[in-house]
Homo-oligomer: A and B are copies of this chain.
């Protein structure tokens, strides 16, 4: 039996495509004392991975020839650790491969309340925690706030919007297709949506948020961020979380002019989810009941088979996914 892996073959010039990756086959490693051998069930694909390829992500760089990194839900199939036993379901950074070894300190049990377990990688995992931190720790949201979120049908954006709905805010989502916008309104309960691909964004924001935007959660950066910054209400809060607009660029483009921040007396904060690791249990305990009561809706974009990961990543980076991108491995 061998271990199938997906390796970065070449650094993409612009948007990544399947040709930038290759499949490799290695021996299945053996765990040492304190380690466990994991067989992956689900792999999460996330936009930050493009930043790792560019060498511009806080978590480090993936070079050509390296195994692609990523968070996984796995079954423990061999244990030399006192912490986990064979059959346990664990989350860790297993990467784009079938079998991985990890020190037990770097793995956590999947919360048994989650069904399907892939939720642990999406709305109930790092993306959900990101949204939770942005809304409940950085956003200072009031029920009277008008909330705008970009990449709104994604795992982070959909949770930001739904946490804000739960607070009582008016919530507007920006997404890239009528199908996504329809889901946001009809299923997730957003008050309004903007399809940025066929509307003038500034005019659409004025229509949906005539008194301005009180809270903007940005997953994108680039021109979209600049446009929104000039539509802020006085006292607005902005959380910067993602840089989708520049993951595919080699140079770091400029951002919004500081006058947009001064004019609105805005508070702009940068969010890195790793800083909120200690809030994970609080986040789960808060969110699982909402999920059980169907107050939280979610979409997953599931591809079957590890070999589909490069193609799914290409679709993700082009915004062609709809919901959290998950690779079901076995």
Spell out A's residues near B (CB within 8 Å). 56, 58, 218, 221, 225-226, 240-241, 243, 246, 252-272, 275
Task: Return the 4 tightest CB-CB contacts between A and B, nearest first.
Answer: A254-B254, A262-B270, A261-B270, A268-B268
Complex: how many Å from CA A199 to CA B307? 53
Which residues of B sit under 8 angstroms from A275, Cβ to Cβ?
265
Is there an interface contact between A255 and B252, defined as CB atoms closer than 8 Å? Answer: no
Minimum Cβ distance to chain B for residue A275 (Å): 6
Is there an interface contact between A257 and B253, defined as CB atoms closer than 8 Å? Answer: yes
Is there an interface contact between B252 and A254, defined as CB atoms closer than 8 Å? Answer: no
Given contacts A267-B267, A267-B268, contact A241 B257 (CB under 8 A): no
Given contacts A268-B267, A268-B268, A269-B266, contact A252 B261 (CB under 8 A): no
Is there an interface contact between B263 and A58, defined as CB atoms closer than 8 Å? Answer: yes
Is there an interface contact between A257 and B255, defined as CB atoms closer than 8 Å? Answer: yes
B257, B263, B269: the one within 8 Å of A261 (CB): B269
Minimum Cβ distance to chain B for residue A176 (Å): 20
B255, B257, B262: the one within 8 Å of A271 (CB): B262
Which residues of B sit under 8 angstroms from A270, Cβ to Cβ?
258, 261-266
Is there an interface contact between A258 and B255, defined as CB atoms closer than 8 Å? Answer: yes
Complex: how many Å from CA A6 to CA B253? 42
Minimum Cβ distance to chain B for residue A12 (Å): 19
Which residues of B sit under 8 angstroms from A269, Cβ to Cβ?
261, 265-268
Is there an interface contact between A241 and B265, defined as CB atoms closer than 8 Å? Answer: no
**Known pairs A225-B258, A265-B275, A268-B269. 5 more at Cβ < 8 A?**
A252-B257, A261-B268, A262-B271, A266-B268, A267-B269
Is there an interface contact between A258 and B58, defined as CB atoms closer than 8 Å? Answer: no
B221, B252, B258, B272: the one within 8 Å of A221 (CB): B258
Which residues of B sit under 8 angstroms from A258, Cβ to Cβ?
218, 221, 225, 240, 243, 255-256, 270
Complex: how many Å from CA A153 to CA B302? 59
Which residues of B sit under 8 angstroms from A252, Cβ to Cβ?
257, 259
Minimum Cβ distance to chain B for residue A164 (Å): 20
Which residues of B sit under 8 angstroms from A268, Cβ to Cβ?
261, 266-269
Closest to A251 in B: B257
Which residue of A221, A255, A263 has the most chain B CB atoms within 10 A of its CB atom? A255
Complex: how many Å from CA A225 to CA B240? 18
Complex: how many Å from CA A108 to CA B260? 31
Is there an interface contact between A243 and B221, defined as CB atoms closer than 8 Å? Answer: no
